[in-house]
Amino acid sequence: MGNDKDKDKSFGAGVTRKRVLTAVMLVVMAWGAWYFTRMAAGYDGDGAAWVRIPHDATPDSARDSIVSALGGDFGSRVAAMWNGNVASSHGAYRIEPGEKAWKIARKIGQGRQTPVKVTFNNVRTLQQLSERIAARMDFSAEDFIKACGETARQDSLGMNEIEAQFLPDTYEVYWSATPATLISKIRGNYRRFWTSERLAKARAIGLSPLQVSVLASIAEEESNRRDERGKIARLYLNRLHRGMLLQADPTVKFATGDFAARRITADMLRVDSPYNTYRGAGLPPGIIRIPEAATLDAVLDAPQHDYIYMCARPDGSGYHDFTASYNAHLANARKYRAATFSN
């Protein structure tokens, strides 16, 4: 009888263990199904999203960035799967609709960044440029300007020479790139622009690459009409070759810092600055805006003519009337003033 009781106890214990094991297995399977479902879930946002982990991120702030970029529930899944290594995760990551949570977490953890595109044009000053670029990168405008100064010192160049090498274009870099890396990339594009053919054209008109950029910057400020800038460049070349002062109004605006001025006053003309071409002979020492590559080519291919005067047309077209006669220029100016006053 005792043996039967022992057998019953053993049997009961076995049943209990089986039930416990079964329950554990069911829990594990349920958890596994739940976890797999979370891992297999794809990003369902409207369009692509960008996750950015800045250089000064902490694990907590990085997780917050992931959640903020991808949305509460899905972002929390990715953040929970992310390895927490902020050093290797520093960067920007483009997340496409349908990407799986576990793949996103691994991509961020391994630092497999997506390049960003930095584009700039229509920029007047280095400060404006630095602010435009910093808005797309993980560094400040001050960091960029400082790196420009360090580059100038390393290469024994003036800041005016460095500024002239910032050719407007679209540059593809990692968001985490340093200012020096981006500056090097931009300058590389500038060096590629100056082919042997273009250098020969610059010598033919008696200008250095820097001077070509300076003249191009003046032509751009003078006219929004791209097809007229070569003609304007030739006008100033004619003045240079005749030993005349350039007397370019945009250089006076640059010298005074008043870019919005509609009229050049007598006081402005008296400003003592190497950029005031009403006082100093020759070209200014640096650019007055960052000119486009197309305008550099317009200077190099400036059409031949003998004009030394120009005046905005009174029709509001944005084009200019050109002449080699001072009297004709005065007549054009009277027409422009009459039209402006009547309007």
pLDDT digits (tens, 9 = 90+) for 225-267: 999 999 999 999 999 999 999 999 999 999 999 888 888 889 9
Does residue 181 share a domain with residue 236?
no
Mean pLDDT score, 86-104:
96
Could you tell me if residue 8 is inside a domain? Answer: no
User: pLDDT digits over 286-314, tens only?
Assistant: 999 999 999 999 999 999 999 999 999 99
In the block, residue with structure tokens 């931009």? 186
Q: Are residues 183 and 213 in the same domain?
A: no
Taking residues 68-77, report their average pLDDT: 93
| 12 pLDDT higher than 90 | no
Whether residue 70 is contained in a domain is answered as: yes
Query: What is the overall mean pLDDT for the chain?
Result: 90
* Of 2 and 175, more confident: 175
Provide the number of structural domains found in the chain.
Answer: 3
Burial of 43 (0-12, 13-18, 19+ CB in 10 A): buried
User: Is residue 320 assigned to a domain?
Assistant: no
| Higher per-residue pLDDT: 340 or 115 | 115
Residue 53 lies in a domain: yes
Residue ending a domain, choose from 193, 221, 250: 193
- Global pTM reads 0.84
Residue 274 has pLDDT above 70, yes or no: yes
Look-up: residue for tokens 């080519």? 297
Q: Is residue 35 part of a domain?
A: no
Same domain, 260 and 300: yes
Q: Average pLDDT for residues 269-290, to the nearest whole number?
A: 95
Pair (132, 184) in one structural domain? yes
Rounded to an integer, the average pLDDT of 47-60 is: 96
pLDDT of residue 72: 83
Of 12-21, 178-187, 209-218, the range with the lowest mean pLDDT is 12-21
Express as a percent the part of the chain with pLDDT over 90: 80
Looking at the fold, whether 98 and 171 belong to one and the same domain comes out as no
State the pLDDT confidence band at 116, using cuts at 50, 70 and 90: very high
Domain end point (choices 145, 161, 193): 193
220 has pLDDT over 50: yes
Domain extent, residue 81, equals 49-109
pLDDT at 15 over 80: no
Q: Tell whether 42 is covered by a domain.
A: no
Most confident region among 56-65, 250-259, 263-272, 328-337 by mean pLDDT? 56-65
Output the six-digit token pair for 249.
Answer: 């109004």
Q: Which pLDDT score, from 0 to 100, does residue 181 have?
A: 97
Above 90 in pLDDT, residue 137? yes
Residue 39 lies in a domain: no
Q: Is the pLDDT of residue 121 over 80?
A: yes
CA distance 320 to 332: 10
Distance CA 290, CA 254 (A): 13
Instruction: Categorize the per-residue pLDDT at 30 as very low, low, confident or very high, splitting at 50, 70 and 90.
Output: very low
Cα–Cα distance for residue pair 225/337, rounded to 1 Å: 21
The percent of residues above 70 in pLDDT, for the chain, comes to 87
